[in-house]
A and B are shown apart, each in its own frame.
Chain A
Amino acid sequence: QSALTQPASVSGSPGQSITISCTGTNSDVGSYNLVSWYQHHPGKAPKLMIYEVTKRPSGASNRFSGSKSGNTASLTISGLQAEDEADYYCCSYVGGTTSVLFGGGTKLTVL
C-alpha cells in the first residue's frame, strides 16, 4: 500500500491558523475513524497530538484539532507559535489488516 498523501510543506505566521490535509482511500481513512496525528521535532521522539480523528490526549495543546471528510483527514493548528515548527505525520488504520499507514509527512514552517 502507498503512504497517505500529505502536502510536503505548509507555512504560516505566528498567531495564524493552518490546516494540513491527509488523503487516503475508502480502505483506510474513509472507512474508519482511526486517524491519528504526530508532531516530530527532528532528533526527538514523535509526539501524539490527535487520535481517533478528533480526540486530543492529555499533554497536547488545545490549539490542535482534527477532522475528517470522506477520504481526507485534516489537522488544524490555531494561534501558531514558533514551537509548532516541526514535521507532522498522519496515520490511519488499514482495513482488513492489523497495521497502519503513515502519511509522507508535512514540514510546518512558522514564518
Chain B
Amino acid sequence: EVQLVESGGGLVQPGGSLRLSCVASGFTFSTSWMTWVRQAPGKGLEWVANIKQDGSEKYYLDSVKGRFTISRDNAKNSLFLQMNSLRAEDTAVYYCVRESTYDYYFDYWGQGSLVTVSS
C-alpha cells in the first residue's frame, strides 16, 4: 500500500520558518519525481515545487522562489520543504505528492500538513 505521510506543519509568525517532511512507502521513492502542492483556505490547489529523482533539478512557483527549498533523502524515502520568510499568503494545507515522470500528473497524494502563518 502506498503511503505519503507529512509532518512539520503548525502555527508560525510572519517572517518565520518551518520545515515540512514527508515519508514515503509502498513505491520506489528513489525513481520518482516528487512535488509539493498546497491549498489555501477556501481556494484551489496550487503547485509549489518539484524535485527530480536524484535531486539534481528543482523547480519552484515564482512566489516562493528564494524563500522555499525542496530537498530529498532517498536513503530515508523522505521529501522535505524548508520554508523561510513565511507570509500570511503561504497559509495552506501542503500535500506531498508523487509525480509521474514526463507526463505531469500526480498519482499518489499524502493527507496534507496545515501551515498557518499568523501573528
Contact = CB atoms under 8 A, between A and B. Distances in A.
Interface stretch (A11-19, A68-76, A78-86, A101-109): A101-109
B95 A46 contact: yes
Interface residues of B, number: 22
Contacts of B105: 34, 36, 48, 51-52, 91
Contacts of A48: 105-107
Contacts of A97: 59
B85 interface: no
Contacts of A91: 45, 104-106
Contact of B44 (A3, A34, A45, A47): A3
Interface string B22-57: 000000000000000100000111110010000001
Contacts of A64: none
Nearest to A106: B44
Interface in A21-38: 34, 36, 38
Contact of B109 (A45, A99, A103): A45
A52 B100 CA distance: 11
Contacts of B112: 45
A47 B109 CA distance: 7
B110 interface: yes
B106 A99 contact: no
B97 to A, nearest CB: 8
B109 A34 contact: no
Nearest to B52: A98
Contact of B106 (A36, A44, A92, A98): A36
Interface of A: 3, 34, 36, 38, 40, 44-48, 51-52, 57, 89, 91-93, 97-105
Given A99-B47, A100-B47, 10 more contacts: A34-B103, A44-B111, A48-B106, A51-B107, A91-B105, A98-B57, A99-B59, A102-B45, A102-B46, A103-B44
25 contacts: A34-B104, A34-B105, A36-B104, A36-B106, A38-B45, A40-B45, A44-B111, A45-B4, A45-B110, A48-B107, A51-B100, A51-B103, A57-B107, A89-B45, A91-B105, A91-B106, A93-B104, A99-B50, A100-B104, A102-B44, A102-B45, A102-B46, A104-B43, A104-B44, A105-B45
